[in-house]
A and B are shown apart, each in its own frame.
Chain A
Amino acid sequence: MQGISLEQADTSQTLLLRSVAEQLKTPLMYVARQAELSKATRPTSPEQVFSTMQLHADMALKLVDSYLLGLAITNQQETLDLEPVPLSAVLYDVAHDLTPIARQYNTDVELVLAGKYGQVMAHQAGLKAALYGLGFVLSEIVHPQKTRNRLQIAAHRSKQGIVTGFYIDGAEQMQTELTHMRRTRSTFKRQPFAQCVANTGAGVLVADAIFAAMQTRLRSGRFRSQQGLAATLQQSKQLQLV
């Protein structure tokens, strides 16, 4: 990333790696403890138990790939070349992948596409990785009053472009905390989003790095009475043949 010294880049990479490593403990703990519990209690529905274990293991693998991309970006090894990307298709895929894991956290995922967008200029794998990591963190948000929450994955037009992001009750403080994180890059925080997320929220940090590499930025946004984080993407000027 331009304007960052090697020392700063090294620190960013180390901090991101620490955040990622801490975050990945959770799905691994789930798999280990579920296996232990199943050995002791012989579940009545073993298929369901195995499905859930698979879900968490697959989620961890997706997160690893997202994080590897984020690490490569912060190490300046990866430049994200932008290309026309079908935004709706990406959002459908992300919503599909996130829904079962979000349900585990009592969060219902709702995909909202306010209009037709065609293609946006982005890096397809990077966009998917960023959205997945961001969505996973937001679906874990601890809301003080709600036992069940609703996560909107939404795209809508603005004057600047197509705003794509996640919105959920309880995310009001995330922008402030993200801004603070960007300013204090040299310090590892176990809970950088302590107002709403109990862990390192590494998915947000990775998404932040990926969107920056796509020459856009994660910002706070509001959509249908919910607060969240979103990035603005530019519509592809490529003519579409119908």
Chain B
Amino acid sequence: MHILLIEPDVVLAHLYIQALEAEGDTVSFVRSAESAIHIADRKKPDVVILELQLTQHSGVAFLQEFRSYTDWLNIPIIIHTHIPPQQLEPFKKALQEMRITAQLYKPQTTLQVLKRTVQAALQPNTAA
């Protein structure tokens, strides 16, 4: 399976990539929303892992654009972010409308949990 990882911190990204690739998945890694759209266009991902705190264009702007393409409507998106869950509460409805598969708070998400969440998202019956 192919994962698109959108993560501005290159040091953390390399850790996530190692963990995900150990499960046999391939990973495309980008640091910005703009690059993510280009990369997804070149190779359609099976799942997207997204940090909302990006530079220039936010993760939310990425979500809006990504979901505007019909080809990408059903691709599972996992939010893996520095933003604490309580600060995302006001955006809960908007995120549900974007069909987010899972929301993970990065400082408290182990690699094991991240991998399990990705594997669950890649199951055929995962509802986006």
Contacts and interface: CB of A to CB of B under 8 A. Distances in A.
A34 B15 contact: yes
B46 interface: no
B83 A142 contact: no
Interface in B19-33: 19, 22, 31-32
A223 interface: no
B32 A190 contact: no
A26 B55 contact: no
A117 interface: no
Interface residues of A, number: 28
Given A34-B15, A106-B10, A142-B54, 11 more contacts: A26-B12, A29-B107, A33-B12, A33-B19, A33-B111, A37-B111, A40-B19, A104-B11, A144-B35, A194-B56, A197-B55
Given A41-B18, A198-B9, A36 B83 contact: no
A226 to B, nearest CB: 18
Nearest to B112: A36
B107 A25 contact: yes
A28 B35 CA distance: 27
Interface string A179-190: 000000000001
Given A144-B34, A144-B56, A199-B82, A105 B10 contact: yes
B55 A29 contact: no
B32 A142 contact: yes
Contacts of A196: 55-56
A58 interface: no
Contact of B55 (A22, A30, A104, A195): A195
B22 A40 contact: yes
B12 A30 contact: yes
